[in-house]
Amino acid sequence: MTSQPTIESRSKLELSDARVAVQSDIAAARLTAILERLDVYPAIAREVAEHLVDANLSGVESHGVMRILQYADQYRAGHLRARAQPVFQTMETGAHEVDGQGGIGIPAMRLAYDESCRIAETNGMSAIAIRNVGHTGRHGFFADQAAQKGFLTIMTGGGNRQQWRQVAPYGGIKAMLPTNPWCMGAPGGAQGSNVLDFATSKIAGGWIYAARSAGALLPEGCVIDRLGNPTRDPEDYFNGGAILPSGEHKGFALALMSELIGEAMLGPVTLECHWLLVCIDTRRFRASQPMQEAAEDILAELRDCPPAPGFARVEIPGERERAQRVEAHESLAVPARTWKQIETLAASLGA
């Protein structure tokens, strides 16, 4: 690990101090050790650690290694069950679900995507509910893997707004809804699958936690304080502020649909929120090769669009994260303050 203030990082944070370069294997080992000391099963600890590291390498800092600080607090507070393993099951109604058993949601989400692809390969499509889970990680990771196998996936989550009031509805100033994400993945062109993965808020909640951890400022136009005034200080959010909906009324509408699916359809939420994953085998509609060629025609035309002022080029969803991962060369650019907190946490646990 070395201190390098000029490390390249696609980040929404404006830092006041340096970043440090941490090799991915070192970061994964440190996070795994922390989780194991919190009594998490070794295999799950390793899976969660590697998922967080991959998020940083892919340029998604909001879902990266800084999350270990949040997870540790949740385990110690009893919010998450350390000795939990997700279970796939078929309900009496014939519906499928993954029950996370009150544990961290990353292995539960991986299981849901695995099972949804398996069922869709046989039946053409599938729908799976994911319940009783903690934080489920970077959904684009799972959607990318499914798309590479030829599956179109659509996933959203919502519910439990009483506990996770983060986003103000369009036209309001009070936090009322969670960030209720949507994620879609589809087989793409010559450069791989295409994935969109976004919160229905102007900024994911993880970026606010990341800014607080790093002592950084948030982007403009994303957060308001408790009086409805624009702010870049993450503490204003924690002191009664709110995140604004992405795309104004459009983001609010998407968040509302997620909330209705997550709670009205799937029932009372037991932990963080409920998720619904729909999976379609695209090969039932068109063979893989002509589909890829058609997709590449579309994507190549968009990449060739002249860039607007301030942009180097037009980027395609999903391709950016893969390119960032290659450019990272297995090195994470972590805010120095955040990595120090992780080291302190590890030391306090004897990890």
| CATH number, domain with residue 336 | 3.30.1370.60
Tokens of 184: 């879609």
Tokens of 95: 């519906």
Per the rule left: phi > 0, alpha: psi between -120 and 50, beta: everything else, 180 is left
DSSP state of 225: -
**Inter-residue contact 56 to 338 (CB < 8 Å):** no
Residue 142: which of 231, 237, 58 has the closest Cα? 58
Give residue 196's domain range: 2-349
**Inter-residue contact 120 to 278 (CB < 8 Å):** no
Angstrom distance (rounded) from CA 5 to CA 163: 38
> Does 52 score more than 70 pLDDT?
yes
Residue 231: which of 249, 216, 247, 217 has the closest Cα? 217
Please report the pLDDT score of residue 274 as a whole number: 97
The sign of the dihedral angle between the CA atoms of 182, 288, 122, 113 is: negative
For residue range 72-113, what is the model confidence (pLDDT) as tens digits? 999 999 999 999 999 999 999 999 999 999 999 999 999 999
For residue range 193-208, what is the model confidence (pLDDT) as tens digits? 999 999 999 998 888 9
For residue range 23-37, what is the model confidence (pLDDT) as tens digits? 999 999 999 999 999
Q: What percent of the chain has pLDDT over 90?
A: 88
For the chain, report the end-to-end CA distance as a whole number of angstroms. 17
Domain count, the chain: 1
Strands of 242-243's sheet in order across = 230-231, 223-224, 242-243
Which residue is listed with tokens 């893989």? 288
Instruction: Name the pLDDT band for 245 (thresholds 50, 70, 90).
Output: very high
**Inter-residue contact 270 to 132 (CB < 8 Å):** yes
Q: What is the mean pLDDT of residues 166-188?
A: 97
Whether the model clears a pTM of 0.85, i.e. scores above it, the answer is yes
For residue range 247-302, what is the model confidence (pLDDT) as tens digits? 999 999 999 999 999 999 999 998 999 999 999 999 999 999 999 999 999 999 99
> Does 11 score more than 80 pLDDT?
no
Q: What percent of the chain has pLDDT over 70?
A: 97
Q: What is the mean pLDDT of residues 177-198?
A: 96
Q: Which helix (H) or strand (E) holds 342?
A: helix 336-349
Please report the pLDDT score of residue 16 as a whole number: 72
Angstrom distance (rounded) from CA 52 to CA 138: 8
Mean pLDDT of the chain: 94
Please report the pLDDT score of residue 5 as a whole number: 38
Instruction: Name the pLDDT band for 67 (thresholds 50, 70, 90).
Output: very high
Please report the pLDDT score of residue 1 as a whole number: 53
Angstrom distance (rounded) from CA 240 to CA 228: 10
**β-pair type (151-158, 182-189):** antiparallel
